Amino acid sequence: MTGQQFCDAAIGAVHEIEKYYNTLSERPVLPSIGPGYLQKLLPSEAPQEGEAWQDIARDIESKIMPGMTHWQSPKYMAFFSASSTYPGILGEMWSAALTVPAFNWICSPVVTELETVVLDWVADVLNLPSTFKSQGEGGGVIQGSASESIVVAVIAARERYVRNQVEREGITDPEEIEDRSCEIRTQLVALGSDQAHSSTKKAAIIAGTRFRSVTTQRSNNYSMTGKDLKAKLQEIEAKGLKPYYVTVSIGTTNTCAVDDMLSIAEVLKDYPEVWVHCDAAYAGSALVCPEYQELSRQMAFVDSFDFNMHKWLLTNFDASCMFVRKRHNLTAALGITPAYLKNDYTESGLVTDYRDWQIPLGRRFRSLKIWFVLRTWGVQGLRAHIRHHVNLGNLFASLIESRGDLFSIITPPAFALTVFTVNSTGKRKVQMEAATNGADPRPDQDRQVPVTPDVADGELEIANRHTKEVYDRIDQSKEFFLTSTVIGGVFAIRVVAANPLAEEKYVRRCFELLVQYAESVL
């Protein structure tokens, strides 16, 4: 492809992309094809001769689009959102154009330096404690995903624990250190609540340690409390095992629960060896708003914090922002410098080599898109974006509440997420006030939303069946994409109003469909 052909193709593609976004709401959000559809549409072998771009481009609509689940559609209200915006796309374009897998500072200094600058900006925008900024002992790094950040945190936690123990034992011979380190690792236990994302368990498996989960209570809106955690820590210690890591969450996947940071911090004062990682993958974006920043202040006790700008902060996948209080803990665990990676800048100690803060060696120029997004929206624009979605989420929750004869909310709406069930009968249920956590500053939870009391087993079975039927019908309609989940044996529907293209008319239409299906099921 020549430069001129590239210009023509790229301009054509940009127009097609703009048209795609403009007409996205008219497409079914879910595909109608079955497994293996593409094999039938594509040749069984790669072409022997090169093809013209026009022929390749034509296949986007005929071959690719039929297999798309349109995450950018305003009718996508499933899982959590995956933001895409024009400035984010431009960041990806420039990153692809420059393609520099800059693992060391010298590989392309701007890749490292822009990352350091924008992550310091982001730490400020979220009002995180200044210990997470690069000026002190901490700093930020862009990882590919929240799961990757958790793996990095777990490995850093494990190695910090082992290092300290070996030091205390006064072992100095390298082979003895290695042998003893292996023994210590076999006793280690990572923890997270039963609502923490599965990536904590996966990270513990990758780190080769045990994982234990802390049971949360419905009466606490599924938030982990210091009391719950303490009981588990004591149980682990009674077995002669050593807790070394815990995930606390701001916005769990099921219900966007926020763990009770103050009571957890109090308990962990007795466990200085335990690394605390805050997983705020989705809801962390809300900390751009001052009304959520009590949570930022509560982060003073955690060792690391991570949130995905690519979920809710207008930045294209992937942009998982991880902050650590002591960067030395990452580099001590993950830094290895063979001869071919040595250079004078690294030796000088004056530069950051982000390869030592992550699992892979090579890395993409991801800070560009964050820079573009921060500059395009500005802090005020980011706040308006989050508040728009929180308001849409609250609107949806109030619509669901208005039909207490059909639906019951499981936990109060949080961060634009509403979790609800279809009732077992068409009668309005007796409702009770939400058991809101007094320490929880989330403004969207200040609303005293009635939630249903626990129901008898027989009733629960019927409600589960009804909810599943309504969920299946929505799914089959392909007009909206929602997610279902099971929380404490309750089958529930989750609706997230946090898509960049979300609007009130789609929230209302989704509610109308739910009412229509629930009325026919009941």
Instruction: Identify which of residues 162 and 319 has a Cβ nearer to ligand PLP in the complex.
Output: 319
- Which residues lie below 8 Å from residue 256, measured CB to CB, with a gap of 6+? 282, 283, 411, 414, 415, 417
Task: Choose the binding region for ligand PLP from 8-16, 91-99, 279-287, 384-392 (rule: CB under 6 A).
Answer: 279-287
Cβ atoms within 10 Å of 348's Cβ, excluding its own:
9
Task: Choose the binding region for ligand PLP from 30-38, 205-213, 244-252, 491-499 (rule: CB under 6 A).
Answer: 244-252
Instruction: Identify which of residues 252 and 408 has a Cβ nearer to ligand PLP in the complex.
Output: 252
Closest CA to 257 of 298, 226, 218, 223: 223
Q: How many CA atoms lie within 13 A of 313 on its CB side?
A: 32
Residue 279 makes contact with ligand PLP by CB under 6 A: yes
Residue 147 makes contact with ligand PLP by CB under 6 A: yes
* Rounded Cα–Cα distance for residues 276 and 335 (Å): 21
Residue count, binding to ligand PLP (CB under 6 A):
16
Task: Choose the binding region for ligand PLP from 152-160, 249-257, 267-275, 384-392 (rule: CB under 6 A).
Answer: 249-257
* Rounded Cα–Cα distance for residues 333 and 23 (Å): 48
Tell the smallest beta-carbon distance from residue 145 to ligand PLP (Å). 3
Asked if residue 194 has a cis previous peptide bond (ω within 30° of 0), the answer is no
- Interface residue with ligand PLP among 320, 408, 418, 445 (CB under 6 A) is 320
Tell the smallest beta-carbon distance from residue 509 to ligand PLP (Å). 25
Task: Choose the binding region for ligand PLP from 118-126, 140-148, 453-461, 474-482 (rule: CB under 6 A).
Answer: 140-148
Contact between 262 and 301 under an 8 Å Cβ cutoff? The reply is no
Tell the smallest beta-carbon distance from residue 205 to ligand PLP (Å). 15
Task: Choose the binding region for ligand PLP from 83-91, 152-160, 274-282, 513-521 (rule: CB under 6 A).
Answer: 274-282
Task: Choose the binding region for ligand PLP from 35-43, 109-117, 275-283, 428-436 (rule: CB under 6 A).
Answer: 275-283
Task: Choose the binding region for ligand PLP from 157-165, 246-254, 268-276, 384-392 (rule: CB under 6 A).
Answer: 246-254
Name which of residues 155 to 214 contact ligand PLP (CB under 6 A). Answer: 197, 199
Lateral strand order in the sheet of 417-422:
407-414, 417-422, 490-496, 483-487
Which tokens sit at 475?
């799914």
Lateral strand order in the sheet of 304-308:
139-143, 320-324, 304-308, 275-279, 242-249, 188-193, 210-214
Site track for ligand PLP across 89-118, x = CB under 6 A: ------------------------------
What is the phi/psi pair of residue 174, to 5°?
-55, -40
Residue 259 makes contact with ligand PLP by CB under 6 A: no
Say if strands 242-249 and 210-214 run parallel, antiparallel, or are unpaired.
unpaired
- Chain-centre distance of CA 229, in angstroms? 23
CA gyration radius for the chain?
25
* Rounded Cα–Cα distance for residues 161 and 139 (Å): 21
- Interface residue with ligand PLP among 25, 108, 145, 337 (CB under 6 A) is 145
- Interface residue with ligand PLP among 146, 162, 299, 417 (CB under 6 A) is 146
Name which of residues 280 to 309 contact ligand PLP (CB under 6 A). Answer: 281-282, 308
Contact between 500 and 381 under an 8 Å Cβ cutoff? The reply is no
Tell the smallest beta-carbon distance from residue 248 to ligand PLP (Å). 11
Contact residues for ligand PLP, defined by CB under 6 A = 79-80, 145-147, 197, 199, 249, 251-253, 279, 281-282, 308, 320
